[in-house]
Amino acid sequence: MADKVVLGLDIGTSRIKFAEARMTRGGPVITNAGIGMTPRDTIANGVIVDPGTLGSAVRELLSAHGVGTKQVISSVASQSALVVRPIELPRMTTEELEDTMKWEVDRHIPFAASEVVMSYQPLIPPEQLPEEATNMEVLLAVAQEDMIEAHVQTLFSAGLNPIVLDVEPLSACRSLVDIDRDRGAYDSTYALLNIGATTTDLSIMRNGLLSFTRAIPLAGDNITNAIAEALGYEFHEAERAKTEEGTVYVEGAPALEAPRTAEPTPAAEVGPPPPLEAEPPPLPEVEPPPPLESDEGPGKVFDLGADTEPAGPPPEKEPAPPPLPSIHKPTSGSPARQVYDAMLPTLGELATEIRRSIEYYVNRYPDSGVDKVLLFGGTARLPHFAEFIGSEIGLATVVGNPFQRLTIDQSNVTVDIVEDDACYMPIVVGLAIRDMLE
């Protein structure tokens, strides 16, 4: 394992993110990391439609950062062509489960597809279930084969060698929660919120097991579109206004002046996001984390994720959340105020959807409250967004930083990536260190 170097790659609708990790005797070290723009029209509804162009963009990004590593672990998101969901089954042996899953899978595919790739993992291995348990939970991932093939083709066209395909929620849980299990992270329930460009992914990790996922089709692009509509801007102008002027204000709090670093790159223009459903869809439910491995070679590996080992040491109770900062609105008529006013209805809608999804989870599993919300994805760069979400949903909310417990080799990793852009990186760091955590 020592000297093993792996690249984690997240190809988002708006941006491509990567992190490289090297396994050393002292643990994983992050040796490179970066962000680039996803070329327009290469991804539609979360599915890659132009692997050639996208592969070239990945290759250029990696070469611009001097990355020579070819071994890559990439991830797919829970969108239109992938379901990641914990399902409940009667208790059975590993062999029985293998048979059952062949049939079970049909009941869980919400998309039309004749060819699917499936992976599953019991949350708790059958032989470790408590004696009295009559049921067991299994994390299921099913993806359209075409979607997986387009992803793998993109990696090949970037000149990479895919080792495994993981799913986003498990990757992020690894770098934000698993990594802290020696500090009692498995004694709490975390809601991870990945707010990207087109989708907000909610994943709830309870006692170290991925217990619930839901994809909300409302995210950064909707905020940009709201600004474009209110101020009569083109999408790219609205995107610039959002990243340069956008700040969120928490009513009733004291003034803030957010030091901000401008997002250097203009955002790619993307199609209008799908309309938000009035009622939350019939949930993808609970999940726990497991990985799936296969030796069939690149392209056939669809991996669910991590080990299911129960956590380590003593539960230290989370300290009480710090009081919310008071944040005043900017002067009426100022550009910041115009952008804020334009964003507010969409931000409110997003907070409502998040709150309803978390409420659904809490109602369904009344013995499990949510202790803390970890926010990430590019939209988490919006200043004071975590405070806003926290105050809207009434839960302690912070921006997740996957670098906190890792050693960083600063020769190829900029301070910006580790600080301001850390919110982009939980997935790629989780992918790169996938097989490096104890």
Ligand X SMILES: Nc1ncnc2c1ncn2[C@@H]1O[C@H](COP(=O)(O)OP(=O)(O)OP(=O)(O)O)[C@@H](O)[C@H]1O
Per CB under 6 A, residues contacting ligand X are 12-15, 77, 196-199, 219-221, 224, 239, 242-243, 246, 263, 267, 377-379, 381-382, 424
Asked whether position 12 contacts Mg ion by CB under 5 A, the answer is yes
Choosing among ligand X, Mg ion, none, which partner's interface includes residue 289 (Cβ < 5 to 8 Å by kind)?
Answer: none
217 binds Mg ion (CB under 5 A): no
Q: Please classify residue 400 by burial: count the beta carbons closer than 10 Å to its beta carbon, then call 0-12 exposed, 13-18 middle and 19+ buried.
A: buried
Neighbour tally for 5: CB within 10 Å: 17
Our CB check for ligand X shows the closer of 32 and 199 to be 199
Query: Interface with Mg ion includes 378 (CB under 5 A)?
Result: no
- 402: contact with Mg ion by CB under 5 A: no
Nearer to ligand X, 274 or 321 (CB): 274
Question: What per-residue string of b and e applies to 118-128 under the rule 16 or more CB within 10 Å gives b?
Answer: bbbbbbbebee
Reading the block at residue 274, the tokens are 């799908």
Distance (Å) of CA 355 to CA 150, 298, 411: 34, 39, 41
Nearer to ligand X (CB atom), residue 213 or residue 224: 224
Side-chain-facing half-sphere of 279: CA atoms under 13 Å: 3
| Residue 221 interaction partner, one of Mg ion, ligand X, none, beta carbon < 5-8 Å per kind | ligand X
28 binds, among Mg ion, ligand X, none (CB under 5 to 8 A by kind): none
Picked from ligand X, Mg ion, none, the partner binding residue 288 (CB below 5 to 8 A depending on kind) is: none
The percent helix, strand, coil of the chain (3-state, each to 5) is 35, 25, 45
Binding segment for Mg ion (CB under 5 A), chosen from 5-13, 38-46, 146-154, 308-316, is: 5-13
> Taking CB under 5 A as the rule, does residue 273 contact Mg ion?
no
CA-CA distances (angstroms) from residue 331 to 205, 255, 267, 339?
40, 11, 27, 12
Which are the contacts of 67, defined by CB distance < 8 A and separation ≥ 6?
7, 18, 20, 32
Q: Is 297 left (phi over 0), alpha (psi -120 to 50) or beta?
A: left
**Cβ proximity to ligand X, 252 vs 266, nearer residue:** 266
Q: Which x/- pattern, by CB under 5 A, does the window 192-211 give for Mg ion?
A: ----x---------------
Partner whose binding site includes residue 186, from Mg ion, ligand X, none (CB under 5 to 8 Å by kind)? none
The span of 12-20, 53-61, 67-75, 337-345 binding Mg ion (CB under 5 A) equals: 12-20
From the list 7-15, 138-146, 280-288, 296-304, the region that binds Mg ion by CB under 5 A is 7-15
Find tokens 């490096």 and name the residue: 436
**Alpha helix stretches (DSSP H) within 192-247:** 220-231, 235-245
Which residues here bind Mg ion, judged by CB under 5 A?
A: 12, 196
